[in-house]
Structure 1
């Protein structure tokens, strides 16, 4: 697990280099590391957090709206398949009929 306090300290130092006299927005302590966050650092942190996209995020379920889709676009909340793939599988499954008799030809 990364050391969050030191990660934030290094992030703040990179941003502070461009505007070291900017007003202080917050003073916090994370994992024992005291941090002074200036306004540009807070803006950069907010933008970075807003722009982050988790690679596991596959959108929301078309049926229940849940955010937990697996790699096959099956909702972990309601169990239904979602999207075009889910619709195709559901339609094919509905029209499937197993062979009841096998004939030699």
Structure 2
């Protein structure tokens, strides 16, 4: 069964090949690109400029969700806050800055009291609603 996504992928590939083939229609044919998604199949001529462009695009793509690997354990992947999902260490310049700040902070024998809005006039601290 074809989905809107598979139709989009096929259309994008078809348009990409047509756009590049239009620039150099006499380029050497290196093969055929056959893409099957859902119940749709597309056979596209694969000329040398298209093959090069596809290779460059696929190798150069960087997923914006990929924050890299951990510099500490080398196997874990970083989350959006650059914290390693495996070892929990904060990485990069931000991580080094936080680590230096924590290391330089003196031990406080008395924990800080929370600051904020004073409790309401009722003994249980609610507003009565």
TM class, shorter-length:
0.7 to 0.9
**Correspondence for 1:14 among 19, 24, 30:** 19
Kindly indicate whether the alpha-carbon contact (under 8 Å) linking 2:69 and 2:77 is maintained by their aligned counterparts in 1: yes
Q: CA deviation at 1:40?
A: 0.7
Q: CA deviation at 1:18?
A: 1.1
- Listed as ranges, the matches of 1:50-89 within 5 Å are 50-66=59-75, 68-89=77-98
Q: Give the unaligned 5+ runs of structure 1.
A: none
**Correspondence for 1:4 among 4, 9, 13:** 9
Q: Give the unaligned 5+ runs of structure 2.
A: 113-129
Q: Normalising by the residue count of structure 2, what TM-score does the alignment of the two structures yield?
A: 0.65
Root-mean-square deviation (CA), in Å?
Answer: 2.3
Q: For residues 101 and 53 of structure 1, do their structure 2 counterparts lie closer, same or farther at Cα, with a shift above 3 Å needed? A: closer
Q: Normalising by the residue count of structure 1, what TM-score does the alignment of the two structures yield?
A: 0.77
- Listed as ranges, the matches of 1:85-100 within 5 Å are 85-94=94-103, 95=105, 97-100=107-110
Q: CA deviation at 1:101?
A: 7.4
Aligned length: 102
